[in-house]
Structure 1
Amino acid sequence: MGPGFRGRLAALAALASVTACAGSPDAEQARICRRALPTLVPSGARVTVLREAAGPQERSIRIDFSQEREGRSPLPRYAVCQFSGLNRTDLSGLTSDRGPVGGAALYLLKHYYLDTPDAAVAEPGAG
C-alpha cells in the first residue's frame, strides 16, 4: 500500500463520515417540527413520534408519527418541515401526508404558536 492509496482511503473514510452525519437531523429543527405536529391532527388526538430523519430536500426534516384517537386504530402520518437558507431555525414550509400548510396558516403557526408555552407543553417527545 503506497501513500497515494492511504490518502484515497482516508478521503473515502472522511466522506463516509460526512454522509453519515448528513442523515441526522438538526436538534433545534427537529424540536420546531415536533411542535408543529399537534396542529396537523384533530383536536383531542394524541401524537407519538416514531422517527426523525433528514428530509427529501436540503434544509428539511421528516418526522414520521402516529395519530391516535380514542376508539380508533393508530393512523401512521408524516410531516416534512423545510427551513430557509437565511436562518437554520426559520420554518419556511410545512407539508404533511395531507398536503402543504398554506401561507397564512404557516405564518400564524410561526408567529403566534411555535414559541408559546402551549406549544412547549403539546410538543410530542422525540422518536
Structure 2
Amino acid sequence: MGRRARLVSLAALLGLGACASTPDAEQARICRRALPTLVPAGSRVAVLREAAGPQERSIRIDFSQERDGRSPLPRYAICQFSGMSRTDLSGLTSDRGPLGGAALYLLKHYYLDTPDAALAEPGAG
C-alpha cells in the first residue's frame, strides 16, 4: 500500500472514530434533563462537555454545580441506555454513585417528559 493510500485510510478511520464518539442528540437531551435532579435545591447546573460514555450506549456529561456565594463544583453524570430503545434510560450514575432502581423508575416515568424537566434542562455544552 502506498503512502497516499495509507494516509487516506488513516483519515477515514479517524473520521469514523470521531463519529462514534459523538453522543446521540436525543440521548444527550434526556441525560441533560436528569442533571437538575442530581444537585441540591437552589443550585444551578452548567453543562461543560458531552461525550460518549465508557460503556456502549452511554453518554457522559461533565457539568458544574453552582450556588450563590460558593465556587462552582465540578461534577459528572453517565447515562446508560438500554438495547431495547435508544432513548430508554436504563441507568444513571454520577460522581456521587449510581441512582437506585426506584429513583430511576420515578425519574423516567414522572419527571423526564414533563414541562418542568424541559424548563430546568441546562443547555448543551
Identical positions, percent: 84
Kindly indicate whether residue 28 of structure 2 is the aligned counterpart of residue 40 of structure 1. no
SS at match of 1:37: helix
Deviations 1:43-96 (A, max 9, x none): 110000011011111110000000011121110000000011111110000000
Shift of 1:17: 1.2
Equivalent of residue 124 in structure 1, options 115, 122, 125: 122
Structure-1 residue corresponding to 2:62 = 64
Structure-1 residue corresponding to 2:107 = 109
Query: Which residue type is aligned with residue 71 of structure 1?
Result: G
- TM (norm. structure 1) is 0.92
Task: Write the distance in 2 (CA, Å) between the matches of 1:59 and 1:24.
Answer: 11
Gaps of 5+ in 2: none
Task: Write the distance in 1 (CA, Å) between the matches of 2:76 and 2:48.
Answer: 9
Task: Write the distance in 1 (CA, Å) between the matches of 2:25 and 2:42.
Answer: 27
Computed over aligned residues only, the root mean square deviation of the Cα atoms, in angstroms, reads 1.3
Query: Which residue type is aligned with residue 43 of structure 1?
Result: A
Q: Which has the larger radius of gyration?
A: 1
- TM (norm. structure 2) is 0.93
Task: Write the distance in 1 (CA, Å) between the matches of 2:106 and 2:29.
Answer: 18
Task: Write the distance in 2 (CA, Å) between the matches of 1:92 and 1:26.
Answer: 15
Deviations 1:12-62 (A, max 9, x none): 332221111111111100000000000000011000001101111111000
Query: Which residue type is aligned with residue 74 of structure 2?
Result: P
